[in-house]
Structure 1
Amino acid sequence: MRVLVGADIGGTKLAIRVAAPDGAIRADVEIPSTGWDAAPVEQAARWLLDRVRPALPAGDEIAALGVGAQGCDTQEHCARLAAAFEASAVPATVVNDAALLVPAADLDHGIGVIAGTGSIAVGTDAGGTVLFAGGWGWVLGDEGSAPAIVREAARAALAGHDAGLADDGLLSELLAHYGADDAPGLARAVNDAPTTENWGPAAPAVFRAAAAGSASALAVVDDAATRLTALVTRLRARGAVGGTVVAAGSVVLGQPLLADRLRAGLGAAHPDLTLRLLDVPPVAGAVALAAVRNRGAGTGTSA
C-alpha cells in the first residue's frame, strides 16, 4: 500500500505515524531523537528515512511524507530539507515542529506554541509566509521550556541566597532534585552540565515549589508565561493570522499552572485569541501535511 507518513522530530523524541490514504492509522512509532540535526539537509534526510522505513508495515511504500522538525527555523531551511527528501524520490513537506500544531488541531490558520524541551512560536501571514519567534536555544532563550524554567529558577534561588533571604521552598526543591547540599553545590550541579538532559528534568521541582506556595517559583512560572505570550505578540505584530493559539509540549501540557498563566496572559494581551491545548499528537499534523502533499504530488510543490 502507498501510505502517508508523518514525522514529528522534537528535542527528545521522534514520533512516526503511518496512515492509509483514507486516514486509517497503520503504525505509530516513538523512538529517541538522539543524533538529530536539521543540517546539513542531506544528512538530516538520510537520518529520518533510516528511521521511517523500518517503521513501515510490510509491503507499504511512502506516497508522501510530512515532517515537523526541530531546527528548521526558516522557511528556506525547510524548503531545502524538503528538496533533500525529494532527491530520494520521497515527496515531502517540511515545517518547523511547532507548525504541526495548527494542522493537528484541524485548523487552517492559527499560531502554534511549543513549550517542552525547547520553545518556539510559529504562524503565517495572510500571504502564507511562515513567521517564527523564539526558539533560540536554552542558553539564550527557549522561554517557557523545561531547561529555561530551571535556568531561571536556579538564578532566582541563588539570588535569594545571596540576598540572605530565607528559602521559600524553591532552593530546597532544587537541592533535593540535584542531590546537592547547599547553594554552591546547586550551582555546580547546574553549571557542570549545561545541557537539556541535566536542566530539563528539574522543571517539575519548580512547579512543586510553586504549588507549595513558593513566591519565587511562582514568579518564574509567571515570567515563563509572560515570555511565551510575548512570542505570540511578536508574530501578530508581523501579520500572523488566525484566532487560535494551539499549544503543545511536555511543559505546557503537563503543568496546568503554566497553561493557566499562559491563558491569562493571552487573554490580557489579545482578548480576541483563544488558547487551545492540543489533545492529539502533533504528528497528526504531519500526516495532514503529507495528505496535502500527496494531492499535489504531480504539481512539483515540495514545501
Structure 2
Amino acid sequence: MTVLAGLDIGGTKTHLRYETPSGEPVADAVVPSETWSATPVAEAARWIADLVERHRPSTETVVAVAAGAQGCDDEHHCAELGYALTTAAGVPAAVTNDAALLVPAAGLSSGIGVISGTGSIAVAVLPGGELAFAGGWGWVIGDEGSAPALVREAVRAALTRNDAGDTTDVLLPLLMEAFGVGDAVGLARTVNDLPTAEHWAPKAPAVFAAAARGSHDARATITEGGRGLATLVGQLMARGAGVTDVVAAGGVMTSQPGLYAAFRDAVAADHPGLTVHLLGDPPVTGAVALARRLQT
C-alpha cells in the first residue's frame, strides 16, 4: 500500500501522520524535537527523511512527504529545504513553516495561520502564491504571546511592582513558586542564569493561574500577548493577504482560553471582517493535505 507522510515539526515535539492517498489514516507518531534545526538545509532534510523512514509502517511505501517546520521562516528557505528533502527522501516533497499548516488543517483554501506555543509566528499565502511571514523573531526580542514571552513579560511586571513596594498582586509569589525560588531577588537571578525558552516556557501556566486568581499584572500580560499576536495578523493584511479567516493553534493558544480570547477580541477590534477559528484538528492534518497536493 502507498501512503502520504505529513509532519508538524514544532519547537517541543514533532507529530508524524501517515495516510493513504484517499485519506484513510494508517499511523501516527509523536517524538521530541530537541535535535531539530532548520539549518543547515542538507542536515535538516536528512533529519526529516530519516524520521519518516524510521516510523514508516513496515508494509507501506511513502510516495510523498510534506512538512511544516519551526525555523523555516522565509519562502526561499522553505523552497530550498523542500528541494533537499525531495532528494533525501526520494519522493516528491514540500516544506513550509509550521504555521502554514493551520489553514489547510482547518479545511480552508486561504487564510492566516497564527501559532502560539514555544514560539509565535503568523503566516499567509499571498494571492500570487508566495509565503508571507510576520513575527517569529525568537523569544529574546519577540515571539509575542508565546509561552516564554509571556513569562518574560510577567516576570518584568512582577519585579517592577515589587520594586515599587507593592505586594498586593499574586503574580510574583506564583512565579517564585514556579521557578522554585524564595524571593524576588532569587527570581531575577534565576531567569537571568537560565535564559532559555526551554526553561521559561513550562512556567507559563503560572501566569494564567495568577490571572485566574485576580492578578492585574497577569491579566495585562495575557491581554498584551493576544494583542501582539493580532498585530501580526494586521501586518499580513497590510501586505495584501486579502483573507477572511484566521486560524489559531499552538500549545498555549489551544490550552489557555484566556490567551485565545484576548487574541480573538484584539483581531475583532482591528479587523471586524475577519473570522477567527481555534483549530480543532491537529496541524499535522494540514501537512498530509499538502502531501496529497503533490500527488495531483
TM value normalised by structure 2: 0.98
4+ aligned runs moved over 4 Å, structure 1 = none
Distance in 2 (alpha carbons) for counterparts of 1:57 and 1:180: 47
SS at match of 1:59: coil
Alignment correspondent of 1:269: 270
Amino acid at match of 1:224: G
Secondary structure in structure 2 of the residue aligned to 1:23: coil
| Aligned twin of 1:250 | 251
Residue of structure 1 equivalent to 2:279: 278
Query: How far apart are residue 48 of structure 1 and its match?
Result: 1.3
2:95 alignment partner in structure 1: 94
| Aligned partner letter, 2:222 | V
Once the two structures are superposed, the pairs formed by residues 80-91 of structure 1 within 5 Å of their partners are 80-88=80-88, 89-91=90-92
**Does the CA contact (< 8 Å) of 2:86 and 2:94 recur in 1?**
no
1:165 is aligned to: 166
Q: Does 1:183 align with 2:184?
A: yes
Deviation at residue 52 of structure 1 after TM alignment: 1.2
Cα distance, 1:129 vs. partner? Answer: 1.5
Mapped partners of 1:36, 1:207: distance in 2? 29
* Most deviating of 194-203 and 98-107: 194-203
Deviation at 1:116, TM superposition (A): 0.5
- 2:45 maps to a residue whose letter is A
Q: Distance in 2 between matches of 1:41 and 1:164?
A: 51
Q: CA shift at 1:63, angstroms?
A: 0.6
Does 1:138 pair with 2:167? no
Residue 90 (structure 1) shift: 2.2
| Alpha-carbon distance between aligned partners in 1 of 2:85 and 2:203, rounded to the nearest angstrom | 37
When the two chains are superposed, the root-mean-square deviation of aligned CA atoms in Å is 0.8
Amino acid at match of 2:17: R
Alpha-carbon shift at residue 190 of structure 1 (Å): 1.1
Equivalent residues of 2:48, 2:85 under 8 A apart: no
SS at match of 1:294: coil
* Structure 2 counterpart of 1:215: 216
Please state if 1:72 is matched with 2:72.
yes
**Residue 15 (structure 2) pairs with residue 20 (structure 1):** no
For each residue in 1:218-254, what CA deviation from the matched residue of structure 2 results, as whole angstroms up to 9, or x when unmatched? 0100110110010000000000122111000011110
Q: Measure how far apart 1:179 and its partner are.
A: 1.3
Q: Tell me how far 1:167 sits from its aligned partner.
A: 3.6
Q: Which moves more between the two structures, 165-174 or 139-148?
A: 165-174
Bigger drift between 279-288 and 256-265 goes to 256-265
| Secondary structure, counterpart of 2:294 in structure 1 | helix
- In structure 2, the gaps of 5 or more residues are none
| 1:54 equivalent in structure 2 | 54
Q: How far apart are the structure 2 equivalents of 1:46 and 1:228?
A: 33
Q: Please tell me whether the aligned partners of residues 123 and 241 of structure 1 are also in contact (alpha carbons under 8 angstroms).
A: no
> What is the aligned partner in structure 1 of residue 32 from structure 2?
32
Q: TM-score, normalised by structure 1?
A: 0.96
CA contact (8 A) 1:124 1:241 kept: no
Map of 2:261 onto structure 1: 260
Question: Is the 2:99–2:113 Cα contact (8 Å) retained in structure 1?
Answer: yes
The amino acid of 1:262's aligned partner reads F
Length, aligned pairs only: 295
- SS in structure 2 of the partner of residue 22 of structure 1: coil
Unaligned runs of 5+ in 1: 296-303
Contact 1:161 1:167 in 2 (8 A): no
Identity %: 55
What is the CA–CA distance in structure 1 between the aligned matches of 2:112 and 2:265, rounded to whole Å?
17
1:17 counterpart letter in structure 2: R
Aligned to 1:300: none
CA offsets, 1:189-216, max 9 Å, x none?
2111111221001100000101110001
